[in-house]
Structure 1
Amino acid sequence: MSFQKALEIGRPPNIVRLFPNSRALIVSGKVIDRAMTAKGKAMTIAANGRSHFVIRGALRAAQRANAAIIIEIAKSEGGAKAYCATNFWNMAMQVDAVCNELGITVPVAVHADHYGIQSARDVETAKMEIPSMFDAGITSIAIDASHLADDENLLANIALNPYVPKWAGYETEVGEIKGKEGLSTVDEALFLIRGLNAHDIFPDWIALNNGTTHGIEESAAGIQVPLTVEIHNALAKYKVSGAQHGTSGNDSKRLRQIAQETRTTKANVATALQMLTWGVKVNEYGNAFLDENGEFVKLSDQGMTDQMWAEMVAYAKNSGLKKGDYKKLNLPFENKLFGLPREIRERMAKGVEDFVYELLTNVFNARDTAPLAIDAILQAGSYDLGPKGTRMEDPAEWTESKIRERATKKAKDGKNYDD
Structure 2
Amino acid sequence: MSNSAEYTKLLEIGRPPNIKKLFPNSKALIVSGKVIDRAMRIKGAAMTMAANGRSTFVIRGALLAAQRANSAIIIEIARSEGGANAYCPVSLWNMATIVDSICNELHITVPVAIHADHYGIKQESDMIMAKVEIPSIFDAGITSIAVDASHMLDDKNLLANIELNSYVPSWAGLETEVGEIKGEQGLSTVDDASFLIKGLNAHGICADWIALNNGSIHGLEASGQGIQVGLTGEIHKALAPYGTSGAQHGTSGNSSERLRAICRETATTKANVATALQMVSWGLEVNDYGNAILDENGNFKKVQGEGVTEEMWQQMVKYADDKGWKGGDYKKLNLPFENRLSGQAKDIRERMCARVEAFIYTMLVDVFSAGDSADIGKAEILKAGSHDLGPKVERIEDPADWTKEKIIARAAELDTDKGPEGDFDD
Residue 421 of structure 2 corresponds to which residue in structure 1? none
Residues 41, 263 of structure 1: 8 Å contact kept: yes
Q: How far apart in 1 are the matches of 2:11 and 2:70?
A: 16
- Offset at 1:120? 1.2
2:69 alignment partner in structure 1: 65
Question: CA–CA distance in 1 between the matches of 2:115 and 2:416?
Answer: 36
Query: Using the alignment, how far apart are the partners of 1:96 and 1:78 within structure 2?
Result: 17
Q: Which runs of 5+ in 2 are unaligned?
A: 419-426
Matching of residue 157 in structure 1 with residue 157 in structure 2: no
2:148 paired residue number: 144
Distance in 2, matches of 1:181 and 1:127, equals 31
Provide the rounded CA distance (Å) in 1 between the counterparts of 2:417 and 2:14: 47
Mapped to 2, the partners of 1:24 and 1:274 lie a distance apart of 24
TM-score (norm 2): 0.96
Q: What residue is the counterpart of 1:127 in the other structure?
A: 131
Q: Distance between the aligned counterparts of 2:366 and 2:88, measured in 1?
A: 30
8 Å Cα contact 1:218/1:250 also seen in 2: no
Q: Which residue of 1 aligns with 2:379?
A: 375
Residue number among 167, 174, 186 corresponding to 2:178 in the alignment? 174
Aligned to 1:49: 53
Using the TM superposition, give the Cα deviation of residue 181 of structure 1 relative to its aligned residue in structure 2, in angstroms: 5.3
> Are 1:262 and 2:266 matched, yes or no?
yes
1:317 aligned to 2:339?
no
In 2, the alpha carbon distance for the partners of 1:410 and 1:335 equals: 49
> What SS does the corresponding residue of 2:246 show, helix, strand or coil?
strand
Q: Which residue of 2 aligns with 1:361?
A: 365
Do the aligned residues in 2 keep the contact of 1:206 with 1:242 (CA within 8 Å)?
yes
CA displacement at 1:223 relative to structure 2: 0.4
Q: In 1, Cα distance between the equivalents of 2:138 and 2:88?
A: 19
- Determine if contact 2:69/2:361 at 8 Å carries over to the other structure: yes
Residue 300 of structure 1 deviates from its aligned partner by 1.7
Give the alignment of 1:31-110 within 5 angstroms: 31-110=35-114
Confirm or deny: 8 A CA contact 1:65 1:368 kept in the other structure: yes
Once superposed, what is the RMSD of the aligned Cα atoms?
1.3
Matched, 1:21 2:25: yes
TM-superposition CA deviations, 1:259-301 (whole Å, max 9, x none): 1111000000000000011111001221000001111001121
Q: Distance in 1 between matches of 2:237 and 2:107?
A: 40
Q: Structure 1 residues 227 and 21 mapped into 2: Cα distance closer, same or farther (>3 Å)?
A: same
| 2:13 alignment partner in structure 1 | 9
Could you say which residue in structure 2 is the equivalent of 1:397? 401
State the alpha-carbon separation in 2 of the partners of residues 300 and 119 from structure 1: 46
Q: How does 1:281-292 map to 2 (within 5 A)?
A: 281-292=285-296
Per-residue Cα deviation, 1:129-152 (whole angstroms, up to 9, x for no partner) = 000000000000000111110000
CA distance in 2, matches of 1:411, 1:253: 33
Please tell me whether the aligned partners of residues 120 and 149 of structure 2 are also in contact (alpha carbons under 8 angstroms).
yes
CA shift for structure 1 position 239: 0.6
Among 317, 323, 346, the alignment partner of 1:342 is 346
Using the TM superposition, give the Cα deviation of residue 324 of structure 1 relative to its aligned residue in structure 2, in angstroms.
1.3
| Secondary structure of the structure 2 residue equivalent to 1:410 | coil
Aligned length: 414
Contact 1:219-1:249 at 8 Å conserved across structures? no
1:412/1:214 CA distance change after superposition, 3 Å:
closer
Deviation at residue 3 of structure 1 after TM alignment: 1.9
Q: Deviations over 1:390-417 (max 9, x none)?
A: 1011111111111001111224999xxx
AA aligned to 2:83 is G
Separation in 2, partners of 1:261, 1:2: 35
Distance 1:267 1:52 in 2: 20
CA-to-partner distance for each residue in 1:294-334, whole Å, 9 max, x for gaps?
11001121100110100010010100112110001100000
Distance in 2 separating the partners of 1:3 and 1:392: 37
* Separation (CA, whole Å) in 2 of partners of 1:295 and 1:310: 12
Structure 1 stretches of 4+ with a deviation exceeding 6 A read none
Which residue matches 1:205?
209
The 3-state SS of whatever aligns with 1:284 is coil
Amino acid corresponding to residue 367 of structure 1 in structure 2: G
**Equivalent pair of 1:240/1:389 in contact (CA under 8 Å):** no
Match of 1:417? none
- 1:413–1:118 CA distance, 2 compared to 1 (3 A): closer
8 Å Cα contact 1:213/1:219 also seen in 2? no
Q: Deviations over 1:185-243 (max 9, x none)?
A: 00000000010000000000000000001112333221000000100000010011000
Secondary structure of the corresponding residue to residue 413 of structure 2: helix
**Conservation of the 8 A alpha-carbon contact between 1:197 and 1:393:** yes
**Residue 245 of structure 1: aligned partner:** 249
Q: How far is the alpha carbon of 1:179 from its aligned partner?
A: 6.6
CA distance, structure 2, for counterparts of residue 165 and residue 181 of structure 1: 34
Shift of 1:71: 0.2
Return the match for 1:191 from 192, 195, 204.
195
Paired AA for residue 373 in structure 2:
T
* Cα drift, residue 389 of structure 1: 1.3
Q: Does 1:305 align with 2:309?
A: yes
The C-alpha deviation readout for 1:346-378, integer Å capped at 9, x for no partner, is: 001011000000000000000000010000100
Provide the C-alpha distance between the structure 1 equivalents of 2:366 and 2:215, rounded to a whole number of angstroms. 23
Residues 183 and 214, structure 2, Cα contact 8 Å, conserved in 1: no
- Distance in structure 1 (CA, Å) of the matches to 2:17 and 2:122: 30
Provide the TM-score with structure 1 as the length reference: 0.97
Corresponding letter in the other structure for 2:372: D
User: Deviation at 1:180?
Assistant: 8.2
